[in-house]
Structures are given as C-alpha cells and as structure tokens.
Structure 1
Amino acid sequence: MSSRIVIAGAGGQLGGFLRSLAAGKDRDVLALTSSQWDITDRAAAERVVQRGDVVINCAAYTDVDGAESDEAGAYAVNATGPENIARACARAGARFIHVSTDYVFDGDFGGAPPHPYEPSDQPAPQSVYGRSKLAGEEAVLAALPEAVIVRTAWVYTGGDGKDFVAVMRRLAAGDGPVRVVDDQVGSPTYVGDLAAALLQVADDHVPGPILHAANEGAVSRFEQTRAIFSECGADPA
C-alpha cells in the first residue's frame, strides 16, 4: 500500500503543482491550502498529521520585503508552523519533508566566483525572511531529527503569477524602464522539477537532514532579466 501524502500550502505555486503532479500519478493525497490548514495552530497540526504517512510542507511566508516590517508574521509561518508539524509528526510516526530556501545563506563567497552552496555550508541569513526560515529548519530538526529539509532557490512556474519570471514577462510587455540588481546570483528552478524532486524524496525515503534541490546553472538577476526580455521579443538593453 502506498503512503498517503499530506501537502501543506497546496494553494501556493509549489504546493499546487505538487498536488497536481501527485494526483496525476494516482497517489493518495490530502492537499490543504493555508485557509484549510493554519500550520501556526498546534492543535490543527495534530489533527491533520494523523491523516497521512508523509507530510510535505510547502506553506511559507514568502514576502521577503514584507517580512522586514512583519517579523512576527514571518516567524509564525516559517518557524512556529513547521515546528508544530514536526512535533505532530514525531508523535504520529509520520515522515516530514520541509521546504526551505537559499536565503538562509548570505550570498558572500569571500571573493571567490559564485558557486552552488552545499548543505554543509554555514548559514548566515541577512534578512528577516532568511532568519525566519533558518529558525524553522532548526526547530524542525530539534523536534524531529529524521525530518528532511529541502532547500531550493528562485522558483518559477513558467506561467502567470507572482514569481520573478512572471513579473518580468509582464514588464517586458510595457514601455517603461526596468531596473534589477546585478549582484544577486542564484539558480532559477522550475516548479515542476522541484515538485518531482519532493515526490522522489518521499517515495525513495531519501535521507536528510538537509538536501539542496535546484536546477543547474547560475545567473544574476540582471542576466536572467535580459534572457526573459529576449524570449519575449523585448529589447533587453
């Protein structure tokens, strides 16, 4: 009998894609949006986790700029919520896969060329968002050492939405100037590839405690924007 997967944050871009992918593979899935399951509610976590064998947490406070003025909100969703799930999984005997971010690092390579981070690299978050996500990782592993943390980066859907690629495509259709930073480097990651990786971690019982899952290659936001504009037939200059 296959394991039943519980997905938290199924209304987001990753959670929604993961739900569709799992359903398409005839998996037994319980996918809940943030309105259906408030992960900051400890009692709710206890109730929901009992309904599955594997929990994948895609729920997150992802407004990086907004977190600077809403630290309590960011920590509630990104730290307290995952801890609630981990504690519930520990009591229920369920496995837990928690999605995190490259924002737990500082992006400073000490003068060396930018390169992919390894799971063993020392975190040094520079924002409230990054610190809240790191706090979530630490709380999860303290409550459930067998949990798996999957860090990813620069997730995009290829369609409409709020991710960077979608926003730049809309801006490419306009006439105004677009300014982006050229000192931020990362690996744009297609949401479908990330969702498939999460299912593989669940199916194959891939051990943690920390894994990195991102597409190959690295670009700056400036280089990425130029590529998006060129693809859209807009002037990338």
Structure 2
Amino acid sequence: MATVSSAILDPLMAADPAGPRITYYDDATGERIELSTATLANWAAKTGNLLRDELGAGPSSRVAVLLPAHWQSAAVLLGIWWIGAEVVLGAGEADVALCTKDRLADADAAVGVGEVAVLSLDPFGKPVDDLPVGVTDYATAVRVHGDQIVPEASPGPALDGRSVADVLAAARMSADAQGLTAQDRLLSSASWDTADALTEHLLAPLVVGASLVQVANPDPAALDRRRQTEKVTKG
C-alpha cells in the first residue's frame, strides 16, 4: 500500500523534480523561501528518518502536529506519512508531538511522557533556545538524518482517523472542486489546522501537481504584485 507521501511525491518527482513546489512568504519578516519537489522530498525524508530512528515513531504512532502553515510544516507532515504514522491535528492524544515553542504546553498535554520535538521555523535553521530537558530541537536533530527513506509498506491511519485512501480521495475531490490542475500556481494564506483545511489548502494542490505560494501575515498591499511576480493562476 502506498503512503500519502509516496502517492503525492513520486509522481511529482517523475514529472518535475526541480520546479518550484512550495514558495513561502512571511510578510511580517520579509522571508521568502522556495522549495522544489526534490528539496521538499529530501526534507520530508529527513523528518521521517528522525521520527522513525530517533523518536521511535512508526505505522502505529499518532503524531500531533502543532504548527502553522509553513514550508517546514509541509515537510513534517510528509515525513510523518512516509513512515506510515497518523497526523493528529488539534486536541487529541498522541505518541509524539512536533510543535513551536509557544505550544509546548499543548504538546505535553497531548503526549504525556511521549516524545516532543520543537521547531524554530527559522529560515537559517537556528535552534530553539532554552528548551526543557528531554525535548528535541528539530533543527539540530533533523540535519544529521539521511535525505532518502524507505516508505512504510503497511501504513496505518493517515489523518485524524482517516485512511490513506480516504485522505487521497478527499484531496482529489477538493482539487476538482477548486478546478486545480498541474498547470496552476495557487496563492493562499489559509491555515492547515484541521483535517479539512489541510486537505483543501495543501494536499489538493499537491495531489494534482499544482504549486503553492503560501503567505503568512499577508500584506494586502503586496498581493496584486505578488500574483504577477509569482505567476499565480488561482487565489
């Protein structure tokens, strides 16, 4: 059985590994990061290897994702799915949690004595300062792991109890409803904090081969120019 990551990334790698897949802006900081499919797949593989080899996660694991809509969050999600584990959004018990520092309390509540990794989301990979003992700094830990991965052959539930097949079917239905194709470049500032939002705003464009321009803290004055410079076709 294919994982969500295999079903999405394998066709993209075959079709266009070098083209832009996710372009991330933060208008509050001026940050702009562009990831090709190959770079996104490598980050996802490193994350999957971190989860599998260091944090003890696998196809029976529930992994809480307490992160904003960000390019590193996309890599985390795909990494979780590479190893056949289940993404848990919002409240719910989990075995492992990945979060920002301001959501450490939520992560602790989700996992109890389970593993927690904290992301700085810094574009230069800076670690998080002053983490509690026993909490993993994602930026420091992930860089030592390999950027190739063997996908899980028997994945468990993929997203808040939904199977791999259900998640992929929902993503394709959403892409159809939005009229998305592989030729589209979608501009979005939507969150990914529920299963439906994640399906509509991240998985739908990826599953049909579209590319995503994701904007945090959007500046309304910059949107028209960005649509032109990024050759946006939707949003």
TM-score above 0.5: no
Between structure 1 and structure 2, the one with the greater Rg is 1
TM-score normalised by L of structure 2: 0.29
